[in-house]
């Protein structure tokens, strides 16, 4: 009942909350997290049940439209996505302009941003048909753009989507397939990737999602808002953590596999080094997604490549950290990305693609949050205040007197 913002306005008070550790930016009915208890639910459904029994498209529908789809609704959603997987032919050429060693996240965000130029008939945030069209186009085209970003980086031709395949299989084929050559999809691998996408699909007001909402609060269109979210995810403290974990593990291995001395380095904060894939702003307990991913990592490794030295190192790191007072006292546990990179590597993805995979998974969450924001009459343009710490008033000094 207390209108805090009205109160702050009348008292002239401004709160300083760097990093928004304790400030809610919105009300939301999408995702529930209890960080102390390690609970995550999408629209009320526990993440463990969704990971085990649902599919990524079903979960996307749930997040975006609020309820699990009926068989008919799911069929319709799947068909609509199938009709929009291709990107405009001119857009394919857009990729030619980037250097080959461009990071695929940079290519992805540019590609998503470019959708505003190619699909100008779906940009009005207040026209439900436009919102629906941009929703379907994003869900359908982002996997295509993501695979093209990868193909570009290895100098291979792009593959057109094959809509007889399911969402994840189609993405795998466009990424790893070669034109005019049959590509055998391992259904277990497709299923594991589908499950990882489910785990990443939403996480309430994280950095990238808050960015999507912030940009959208100016009534920017969905493509523009989501491309900003991709850029926010690019950073190593957010989506970039999954590749940073693998780089960390590889460095430890290259240095002889001395996990204990690495942990000491982290504890002594030498060169600001952190245990990547550990810690979370909200979870002060085991990230429920990390527990699911850890098991999947063991399964995928067994299937793909047999015992893996980096997986052993990761488990040793986890064990040492969870028994160490530095990590225990700060409530630092593995987050979702501690083990995902190992799975992606075993699937054949190069490290820079890991964060792109996170973006593919997070996409329905960004869309759902943007739609909730735009349809909420209480939404106002995001405009934080500040505490000014600069110079007091002073007089201008002419150039020749400085």
Window contacting ligand ACO (CB under 6 A); options: 61-69, 187-195, 254-262, 273-281: 273-281
Residue from 130, 200, 280, 287 carrying the catalytic annotation = 280
Query: According to CB under 6 A, which residues from 274 to 313 bind ligand ACO?
Result: 274-281
Name the residue nearer to ligand ACO (CB basis): 26 or 282: 282
242: nearest Cα among 108, 369, 360: 360
Name the residue nearer to ligand ACO (CB basis): 146 or 359: 359
Residue 139 in the binding site for ligand ACO (CB under 6 A): no
SS3 content of the chain, % helix, strand, coil (to 5): 60, 5, 35
The b-or-e profile of 90-119 (16+ CB within 10 A means b, else e) is ebeebbeebeeebbbbbbbbbbbbbbbebb
Supply 29's token pair. Answer: 């009915």
The number of helices, as runs of H, and strands, as runs of E, in the chain is: 18, 3
Active site residue 194: no
Residue 252 in the binding site for ligand ACO (CB under 6 A): no
Q: Which long-range contacts (CB under 8 A, 24 or more apart) does 314-323 make?
A: 314/245, 314/249, 314/338, 314/339, 314/342, 316/259, 317/249, 317/252, 317/259, 317/262, 317/263, 317/275, 320/259, 320/260, 320/263, 321/263, 321/275, 321/278
Residue from 194, 202, 308, 337 carrying the catalytic annotation = 337
Residue 330 in the binding site for ligand ACO (CB under 6 A): yes
Name the residue nearer to ligand ACO (CB basis): 111 or 361: 361
Active site residue 184: no
Name the residue nearer to ligand ACO (CB basis): 133 or 310: 310
Q: Are 139 and 246 in contact (CB under 8 A)?
A: no
Name the residue nearer to ligand ACO (CB basis): 41 or 88: 41
Q: In what order do the strands lie in the sheet with 39-42?
A: 31-34, 39-42, 45-46
CB of 28 vs ligand ACO, minimal distance in Å: 18
Query: According to CB under 6 A, which residues from 10 to 49 bind ligand ACO?
Result: 19
Name the residue nearer to ligand ACO (CB basis): 222 or 275: 275
Question: By beta-carbon distance, which residue lies closest to ligand ACO?
Answer: 279
Q: What distance lies between CA 49 and its chain's CA centroid? A: 21
Q: What distance lies between CA 365 and its chain's CA centroid? A: 9
Residue 336 in the binding site for ligand ACO (CB under 6 A): yes
Binding string, residues 219-248; x marks residues near ligand ACO by CB under 6 A: ------------------xxx-x-------
Residue 318 in the binding site for ligand ACO (CB under 6 A): no
Query: Which residues of this protein are in contact with ligand ACO, per CB under 6 A?
Result: 19, 237-239, 241, 266, 274-281, 330, 332, 335-337
Catalytic residues: 280, 337
């Amino acid at each position: 009942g207390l209108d805090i913002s009205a109160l702050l306005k009348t008292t002239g008070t401004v709160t300083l909350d760097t990093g928004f550790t304790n400030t809610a930016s919105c009300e939301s009915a999408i995702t529930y997290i209890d960080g102390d208890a390690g609970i995550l639910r999408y629209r009320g459904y526990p993440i463990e049940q969704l990971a085990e029994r649902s599919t990524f498209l079903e979960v996307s529908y749930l997040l975006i439209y609020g309820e699990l789809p009926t068989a008919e609704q799911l069929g319709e959603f799947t068909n609509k996505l199938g009709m929009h997987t291709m990107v405009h032919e001119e857009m394919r050429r857009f990729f030619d302009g980037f250097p080959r060693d461009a990071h695929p996240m940079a290519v992805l965000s540019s590609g998503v941003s470019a959708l505003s130029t190619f699909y100008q008939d779906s940009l009005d945030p207040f026209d439900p048909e436009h919102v629906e069209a941009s929703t379907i186009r994003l869900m359908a085209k982002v996997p295509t753009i993501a695979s093209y970003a990868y193909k570009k980086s290895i100098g291979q031709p792009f593959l057109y989507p094959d809509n007889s395949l399911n969402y994840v299989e189609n993405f795998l084929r466009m990424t790893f397939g070669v034109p005019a050559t049959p590509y055998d999809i391992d259904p277990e691998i497709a299923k594991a990737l589908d499950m990882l996408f489910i785990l990443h699909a939403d996480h309430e007001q994280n950095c990238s999602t808050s960015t999507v909402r912030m940009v959208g609060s100016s009534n920017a269109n969905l493509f523009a808002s989501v491309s900003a979210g991709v850029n926010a995810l690019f950073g190593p403290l957010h989506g970039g953590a999954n590749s940073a974990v693998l780089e960390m593990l590889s460095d430890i291995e290259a240095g002889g596999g001395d996990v204990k001395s690495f942990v000491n380095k982290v504890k002594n904060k030498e060169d600001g080094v952190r245990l990547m894939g550990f810690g979370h702003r909200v979870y002060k307990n085991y990230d429920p997604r990390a527990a699911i991913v850890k098991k999947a990592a063991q399964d995928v490794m067994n299937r793909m490549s047999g015992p893996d030295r980096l997986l052993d190192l990761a488990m040793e790191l986890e064990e040492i950290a969870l028994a160490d007072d530095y990590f225990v006292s700060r409530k630092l546990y593995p987050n979702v990305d501690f083990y995902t990179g190992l799975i992606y590597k075993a699937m054949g993805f190069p490290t820079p693609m890991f964060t792109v995979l996170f973006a593919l998974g997070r996409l329905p969450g960004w869309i759902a949050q943007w739609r909730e924001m735009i349809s909420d009459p209480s939404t106002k343009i995001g405009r934080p205040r500040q505490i000014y710490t600069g110079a007091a008033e002073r007089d201008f000094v002419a150039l020749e007197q400085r």
